[in-house]
């Protein structure tokens, strides 16, 4: 009996959460996949009609804009956040005096909700109220900074706000990574007279590969599910120039009563996530097995 | 002691519904939660209570009704629909097709709704042969508002044609005044667009394009002209218009920063709340062209069980279309009564203009549903048109491209 318990208690304890995840995550993914194949409008319907919703989705110029924005936003957000984060981490790593204070200051934006970040940056970048108005007030009458109201540039305005929010967090990740590099190797390199930039580029950064990977995964999923930042900063505008897949899906499901279309866009979003996460999981699992 | 007795009685009634009499009861889902709107609902609530009914309020704020619709969907799917729901336009028929709406023809016929409502508005309240919703008000969408002092100072009168408007706008621009106050949000772009479309296309073509979605009408040369006028208007708004809320645009007209605004008559509420007088401080007129675009709020009655709830539904329907409520509610809200036999003595001059135009346009068939406010089309089609309108207005897309995109988007939304 005791033996049986010992073997089975973990299973019994895990069973409820396993069941809940099975239903509420995988069950509803399957449900969404099903609905995406139907002509559901206001309420879900269950007669399978094939891939009409996907045809409609790929024919919609607004969806094209949303996907393009996702790639622009995702790529810039991840790359710039990582570069800034790494730079900040290396600068903070120079055994400076008030490191603790500086670290907290850089980390604080992460404590804000995206809605707050978006609203604050909306005002900062508004040409009539923010940076442009201030600089013009100083006498530079021809100064222009109107990204949020320019359909071609608005998506970059969102990148700025998102990078501001996330780079401090990336810095903290990298700082932990830097500290975990074996001090002895660095000292040995110093003794050999290798310049500091070479120490970083040839020894420290390559040994931080796992940290890069986790930073990438965290930033990538933040980018794909971005919704609140866009809603707060531009409302998807001007026009629909800053739409992202998540805001497209929301508009279809909740404003337009077009559930089938929303479900198909959700499935595509999931496919994008899989395209990023599956190679990661594969490489992780392979390393463990080896 | 008394309280304990009360609780006991309540408990008995609760567990034994058969003991309770069929007292009218209504659970009402709506999203009128802001100042003037909440006051307007309270009027109905009071009247319902005075007639012996029990009102359960279910206000769901947020997203211009999106949040309320999500709540409604959940309630209907779980088989527990609210008694009455604030719904409008083709959404009423959409819910009817899902089999969720009740028949209130008995009340409608007893009260003679068919005789007191304009025919095209009454049609929105019908589901096939029965009545299934009760109209509350009529908002006019195709209004143009102006600052009286600014117009006088620049020697401009209210424009009767779009050419006159463009000429006035150039004059104002030369004088350093923003001609058109506008907020760059998709629904506001759509509001201006349909006012322009009504003026340039005329009532018949407007109906073909935005009610019947006729492809020839959507791609006609006149439609190209509509987009051309939108491009002209784009030059008459200030640079910083993106994302601005409509009431901030109204404030720009009020303080003389801008001269005109094209917006529905909810803008009048802003002027009045700021202590401005119609005809003195601000002017109202229909946008250039003939016709009347309406946005009618209504309550749809859902299928519910139980005599008390059905009695509540009937009472609610009777009160909503009743003369007293139609008057008091619309005085609060800035719109005009949906029934045409309510005396308008207490209403202002803009409301009189609106009521006169409504009956005139109802006679000559130019009383039309607003597409931008969900009266003419279902969500998917209206949204597809708005996408094109806002993409055109906020970029340098040519009018010809916009018209092609419009036809493609409408076809794709089916």
For B130, phi then psi, to 5°, come to: -105, 165
Q: Which of these, B281, B236, B280, B279, lies nearest to B261 by C-alpha position? A: B236
How many CA atoms are closer than 13 Å to the CA of A251, on its beta-carbon side?
24
Residue to test with chain B: of A31, A42, A65, most B Cβ within 10 A: A42
SS3 state at B356: helix
- Which positions in chain A touch B62 (Cβ < 8 Å)? none
8 Å CB contact between B158 and B146: yes
For B229, phi then psi, to 5°, come to: -65, -35
Q: Shortest CB distance from A241 goes to which of B394, B405, B408?
A: B394
Contact B240 A149 (CB under 8 A): yes
More confident residue, A286 or A28: A28
Residue A277 in any domain: the answer is yes
Residue A227 tokens read as 């919704």
Q: How many CB atoms lie within 10 A of CB A88?
A: 20
Examine the pLDDT at B203 and tell me if it is beyond 80: yes
The pLDDT > 90 percentage for chain A reads: 46
pLDDT confidence of residue B14: 46
Examine the pLDDT at A181 and tell me if it is beyond 50: yes
Residue B127 pairs in a beta bridge with B130
Å from B50 to nearest chain A CA? 36
Contact A240 B69 (CB under 8 A): no
First to last CA, chain B: 64
For B123, phi then psi, to 5°, come to: -60, -35
The predicted model gives B242-248 an average pLDDT of: 88
Residue A86 in any domain: the answer is yes
Q: Is A122 on the interface with B (CB under 8 A)?
A: yes
> Distance between CA atoms of B90 and B88, rounded to whole angstroms?
7
> Distance between CA atoms of B346 and A32, rounded to whole angstroms?
53
pLDDT confidence of residue B22: 64
Q: How many CB atoms lie within 10 A of CB B330?
A: 23
Q: Is A62 on the interface with B (CB under 8 A)?
A: yes
* Least reliable range by pLDDT among A29-33, A127-131, B145-149: A127-131
Number of domains in chain A: 1
Could you report the per-residue pLDDT of B351-410, keeping only the tens digit for each?
999 999 999 999 998 999 999 998 999 888 999 999 999 999 999 999 999 999 999 999
- Placement of tokens 């203009």 in the chain: B353
Residue to test with chain B: of A125, A240, A255, A258, most B Cβ within 10 A: A255
Residue to test with chain A: of B243, B384, B402, B413, most A Cβ within 10 A: B243
Average pLDDT of the residues of chain A: 89
Q: For chain A, give me the number of helices (H) and strands (E)?
A: 14, 0
Could you report the per-residue pLDDT of B266-303, keeping only the tens digit for each?
899 889 888 999 999 999 999 998 899 999 999 999 99
Mapping DSSP onto H, E and C, the string for B275-291 reads CCCECCCEEEEECCCCC
Q: Is A240 on the interface with B (CB under 8 A)?
A: yes
pLDDT confidence of residue B140: 94
pLDDT confidence of residue B130: 92
- Which positions in chain A touch B239 (Cβ < 8 Å)? 127, 146, 149
SS3 state at A259: helix
ipTM for the whole complex: 0.82
8 Å CB contact between B216 and B407: no
Could you tell me which residues come within 8 angstroms of residue B335 by beta carbon, excluding any fewer than 6 positions away? Answer: B137, B138, B139, B140, B265, B266, B297, B351
Rg from Cα positions in chain A: 24
Examine the pLDDT at A26 and tell me if it is beyond 70: yes
Residue B209 tokens read as 């394009």
For B215, phi then psi, to 5°, come to: -65, -40
- Which positions in chain A touch B185 (Cβ < 8 Å)? 235, 237
More confident residue, A62 or B43: A62
Q: Which of these, A126, A1, A151, A7, lies nearest to A65 by C-alpha position? A: A151
Contact B184 A146 (CB under 8 A): no
Residue A27 in any domain: the answer is no
Using the Cα atoms of residue B246, residue B251, residue B252 and residue B253 in order, give the sign of their dihedral.
positive
Could you report the per-residue pLDDT of B310-364, keeping only the tens digit for each?
899 999 999 999 998 999 888 888 889 999 999 999 999 999 999 999 999 999 9
Could you report the per-residue pLDDT of B83-103, keeping only the tens digit for each?
999 998 898 998 998 888 999
| Rounded alpha-carbon distances, angstroms, from residue A250 to A44, A207, A258, B158, B394 | 16, 42, 10, 40, 22
- Placement of tokens 């250039």 in the chain: B288
pLDDT confidence of residue A190: 87
SS3 state at B99: coil
For B143, phi then psi, to 5°, come to: -105, 150
- Which positions in chain A touch B394 (Cβ < 8 Å)? 151, 237-239, 241
Report strand pairing: B143-147 vs B258-262.
antiparallel
Q: Shortest CB distance from A237 goes to which of B66, B184, B383?
A: B184
SS3 state at A98: coil
DSSP label of A108: G
For B27, phi then psi, to 5°, come to: -105, 120
The pLDDT > 90 percentage for chain B reads: 64
Residue B278 pairs in a beta bridge with B282
pLDDT confidence of residue A25: 92
> What's the angle, vertex CA B287, arms to CA B281 and CA B289, rounded to 5?
145
Burial of A233 (0-12, 13-18, 19+ CB in 10 A): buried
Residue A151 in any domain: the answer is yes
User: What does pTM read for this prediction?
Assistant: 0.86
Residue A29 in any domain: the answer is no
8 Å CB contact between A35 and A44: yes
Residues on chain B bordering chain A, Cβ-to-Cβ distance under 8 angstroms: 63, 66-67, 69-70, 73, 76-77, 91, 94-95, 98, 184-186, 189, 239-243, 378-380, 382-383, 387, 390-391, 393-395, 405, 408-409, 412-413
Residue A255 in any domain: the answer is yes
| Rounded alpha-carbon distances, angstroms, from residue B410 to A265, B190, B269 | 19, 15, 34
Å from A45 to nearest chain B CA? 10
Could you tell me which residues come within 8 angstroms of residue B52 by beta carbon, excluding any fewer than 6 positions away? Answer: B23, B24
Q: How many A×B Cβ pairs under 8 Å?
A: 95
For B140, phi then psi, to 5°, come to: -95, 135
| Stretch (H or E) spanning B295 | strand B292-295
Mapping DSSP onto H, E and C, the string for A31-83 reads HHHHHCCCCCCCCCCCCCCCCHHHHHHHHCHHHHHHHHHHHHHHHHHHHHHHH
Could you report the per-residue pLDDT of A32-53, keeping only the tens digit for each?
999 999 998 888 889 998 899 9
Chain A residue closest in CA terms to B70: A254
Contact A237 B186 (CB under 8 A): yes
Residue B133 pairs in a beta bridge with B300
Residue to test with chain B: of A44, A127, A257, most B Cβ within 10 A: A257
The predicted model gives B27-46 an average pLDDT of: 84
Could you report the per-residue pLDDT of A207-263, keeping only the tens digit for each?
888 888 889 888 988 888 889 999 999 988 788 999 999 999 999 988 888 999 999
Residue A22 in any domain: the answer is no
Q: Is A126 on the interface with B (CB under 8 A)?
A: yes
| Stretch (H or E) spanning B28 | strand B25-30
Residue A72: CATH number of its domain? 1.10.3720.10
Could you report the per-residue pLDDT of B143-182, keeping only the tens digit for each?
999 999 999 999 999 999 999 999 999 999 999 999 999 9
First to last CA, chain A: 37
SS3 state at A289: helix
- Which positions in chain B touch A42 (Cβ < 8 Å)? 73, 91, 94-95, 98
Angle between helix A61-92 and A209-224 (nearest 10): 140
- Which positions in chain B touch A66 (Cβ < 8 Å)? none
- Which positions in chain B touch A59 (Cβ < 8 Å)? 408, 412
DSSP per residue, B94-157: HHHHTT-BPP-HHHHHHHTHHHHS-HHHHHHTEETTEE-EEE--BEE--EEEEEHHHHHHTT--
pLDDT confidence of residue B318: 92
Q: Shortest CB distance from A56 goes to which of B379, B382, B412?
A: B412
8 Å CB contact between B147 and B259: yes
Contact B243 A127 (CB under 8 A): no
pLDDT confidence of residue B132: 93
Using the Cα atoms of residue B222, residue B223, residue B229 and residue B235 in order, give the sign of their dihedral.
negative
pLDDT confidence of residue B201: 94
Residue A144 tokens read as 């222009």
Q: Is A131 on the interface with B (CB under 8 A)?
A: no
8 Å CB contact between A162 and A228: no
- Placement of tokens 């194949």 in the chain: A37
Structural domain containing residue A242: 36-289
Contact B380 A42 (CB under 8 A): no
Å from A108 to nearest chain B CA? 28
pLDDT confidence of residue B147: 95
> Distance between CA atoms of B362 and B365, rounded to whole angstroms?
5
Q: What is the Cα B205 distance to its own chain's centre?
A: 22
Residue A16 in any domain: the answer is no
Could you report the per-residue pLDDT of A112-124, keeping only the tens digit for each?
888 999 999 999 9
Could you tell me which residues come within 8 angstroms of residue A68 by beta carbon, excluding any fewer than 6 positions away? Answer: none
Peptide bond into B62 cis (omega under 30): no
Could you report the per-residue pLDDT of A72-97, keeping only the tens digit for each?
999 999 999 999 999 999 898 888 88
Q: Which of these, B99, B126, B170, lies nearest to B298 by C-alpha position? A: B126
């Amino acid at each position: 009996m005791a033996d049986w318990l010992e073997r089975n208690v973990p299973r019994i304890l895990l069973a409820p959460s396993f069941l809940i995840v099975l239903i509420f995550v995988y069950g509803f993914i399957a449900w969404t996949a099903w609905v995406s194949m139907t002509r559901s409008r206001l309420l879900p319907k269950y007669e399978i009609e094939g891939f009409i919703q996907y045809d409609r989705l790929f024919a919609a110029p607004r969806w094209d804009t949303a996907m393009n924005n996702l790639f622009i936003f995702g790529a810039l957000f991840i790359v710039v956040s990582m570069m800034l984060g790494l730079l900040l981490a290396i600068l903070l790593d120079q055994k400076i005096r008030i490191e603790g204070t500086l670290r907290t200051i850089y980390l604080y934006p992460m404590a804000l909700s995206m809605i707050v970040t978006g609203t604050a940056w909306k005002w900062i970048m508004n040409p009539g109220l923010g940076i442009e108005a201030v600089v013009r007030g100083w006498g530079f009458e021809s100064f222009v900074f109107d990204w949020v109201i320019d359909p071609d540039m608005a998506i970059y305005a969102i990148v700025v706000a998102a990078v501001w929010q996330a780079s401090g967090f990336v810095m903290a990740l990298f700082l932990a990574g830097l500290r975990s590099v074996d001090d002895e190797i660095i000292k040995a390199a110093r003794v050999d007279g290798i310049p500091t930039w070479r120490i970083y580029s040839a020894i420290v950064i390559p040994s931080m590969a796992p940290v890069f990977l986790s930073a990438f995964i965290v930033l990538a999923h933040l980018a794909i599910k971005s919704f609140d930042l866009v809603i707060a900063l531009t409302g998807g505008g001007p026009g629909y120039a800053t739409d992202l897949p998540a805001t497209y899906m929301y508009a279809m499901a909740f404003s337009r009563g077009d559930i089938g279309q929303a479900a198909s866009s959700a499935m595509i979003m999931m496919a994008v996530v899989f395209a990023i996460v599956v190679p990661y999981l594969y490489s992780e699992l392979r390393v463990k097995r080896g | 002691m008394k309280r304990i007795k009360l609780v006991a009685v309540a408990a008995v009634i609760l567990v034994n519904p058969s003991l309770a009499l069929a007292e009218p009861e209504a659970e009402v889902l709506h999203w009128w939660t802001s100042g003037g709107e909440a006051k307007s609902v309270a009027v109905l609530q009071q009247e319902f209570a005075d007639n012996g009914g029990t009102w359960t309020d279910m206000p769901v704020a947020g997203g211009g009704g999106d949040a309320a619709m999500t709540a409604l969907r959940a309630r209907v799917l779980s088989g527990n629909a609210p008694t009455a729901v604030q719904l409008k336009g083709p959404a009423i028929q959409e819910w009817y097709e899902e089999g969720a709406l009740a028949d209130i023809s008995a009340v409608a016929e007893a009260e003679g709704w068919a005789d007191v409502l304009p025919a095209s508005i009454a049609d929105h309240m019908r589901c096939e042969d029965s009545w299934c919703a009760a109209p509350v008000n009529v908002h006019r969408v195709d209004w143009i508002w102006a600052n009286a002092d600014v117009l006088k100072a620049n020697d401009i009168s209210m424009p009767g044609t779009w050419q006159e408007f463009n000429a006035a706008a150039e004059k104002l621009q030369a004088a350093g005044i923003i001609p058109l106050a506008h907020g760059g949000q998709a629904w506001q772009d759509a509001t201006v667009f349909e006012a322009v479309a009504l003026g340039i296309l005329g009532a018949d073509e407007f109906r073909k394009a935005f009610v019947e979605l006729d492809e020839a009408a959507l791609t006609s040369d006149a439609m190209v002209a509509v987009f051309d006028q939108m491009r002209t208007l784009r030059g008459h708004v200030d640079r910083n218009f993106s994302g601005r809320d409509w009431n901030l645009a109204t404030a720009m007209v009020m303080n003389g920063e801008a001269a005109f605004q094209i917006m529905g008559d909810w803008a009048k509420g802003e002027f009045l709340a700021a202590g401005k007088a119609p005809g003195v401080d601000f002017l109202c007129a229909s946008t250039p062209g003939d016709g009347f675009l309406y946005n009618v709020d209504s309550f749809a009655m859902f299928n519910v069980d139980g005599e008390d709830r059905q009695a509540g539904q009937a009472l609610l329907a009777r009160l909503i279309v009743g003369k007293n409520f139609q008057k008091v509610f619309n005085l609060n809200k800035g719109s005009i009564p949906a029934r045409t036999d309510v005396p308008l003595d207490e209403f202002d001059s803009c409301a009189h203009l609106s009521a006169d135009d409504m009956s005139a346009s109802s006679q000559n068939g130019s009383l039309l549903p607003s597409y931008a406010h969900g009266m003419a089309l279902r969500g998917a089609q209206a949204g597809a048109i708005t996408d094109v309108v806002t993409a055109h207005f906020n970029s340098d897309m040519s009018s010809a491209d916009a018209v092609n995109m419009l036809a493609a988007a409408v076809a794709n939304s089916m």
